[in-house]
Amino acid sequence: MSTANLGGRFTFPGTSLTVHRVGYGAMQLAGPGVFGPPRDPDGAVAVLREAVAAGVDHIDTSDFYGPHVTNQIIRKALHPYPDGLVIVTKVSARRGEDASWLPALSPEELTRAVHDNLRNLGLDVLDVVNFRSMFGIEKPGEGSIEPQVTALADLQRRGLIRHIGLSNVTPAQIEEAGRITPIVCVQNCYNVAVRRYDDALVDDLAGRGIAYVPFFPLGGFTPLQSSTLSDIATRLEATPMQVALAWLLHRSPNILLIPGTSSVGHLRENLAAGSLELSPQVLAELDGIGA
């Protein structure tokens, strides 16, 4: 399966960052529950190296994956980083000793998280840092994020962050953040089956040239299940997950994908989705899945 196209390229607004639209999400490189080391550390390194060799130049990560584990694997596998590789990380959480996810939202905690990411990735400056709201998943909760975005903007002025993005946020929160600093990307839950909250937002951001990066593009820990998806995949001689990823690429030109896997085989399947063409008829069928 060809991976040459990788769904085309996208340039983040107001930056020199241009990436292939199919990237890689590093969350699954950590152990079970995104906690502790992976069962196969050498395999995790191999997946990252294969991704970059195949043309991936956009990696999504966070130092609270593990914690620290994922970024340390990225550094081991890829440092010194090739020219043009964009590493996007996120802050706002920490891990409890019981693997729980805990909010870390104070300016001091955000500053510490940025320094943790820099140290474990082996970088002097982070390309993009997403502030992740610790509200709900499919539908983010309302609430001001001004203190947190202001803290990151201060770190940006100090030269530790090049660009700022947002994750798990509402349109109102995006507007609030944009009054503090330019926002280059938004990362929310969105896929062919779950899109009722963000359909209009995708189009709005596209009109403003802002990248939309869906997390859980394949349904998260509960993979997408749909007879329609399976039937279309059979007709196209593809997998259902490839069709789901291809639908996202067709949905809007500002969508960037970060499917994650710890398997080289699954990585190759995900990248091949970037060259899968969907006809208008197929797109109409897939549009009927969502809610």
Which residues are tagged catalytic? 65
CA atoms within 13 Å, Cβ hemisphere of 204: 11
Give residue for tokens 């890829």.
78
Contacts of 220 (CB under 8 A, 6+ apart): 189
CA torsion, ordered 270, 7, 187, 262, to nearest 10 deg: 20
Give residue for tokens 């503090």.
180
Partnered with residue 24 across adjacent β-strands are: 59
Which residue blocks in the chain are alpha helix, DSSP H? 41-53, 69-78, 107-121, 146-157, 171-178, 199-207, 227-236, 240-251, 264-272, 280-287
Measured CA to CA, the distance from residue 244 to residue 272 in angstroms comes to 12
Partnered with residue 22 across adjacent β-strands are: 257
Axis-axis angle for helices 280-287, 240-251 (nearest 10): 100
Measured CA to CA, the distance from residue 241 to residue 217 in angstroms comes to 9
Does residue 213 contact residue 60 with C-beta atoms inside 8 Å? Answer: yes
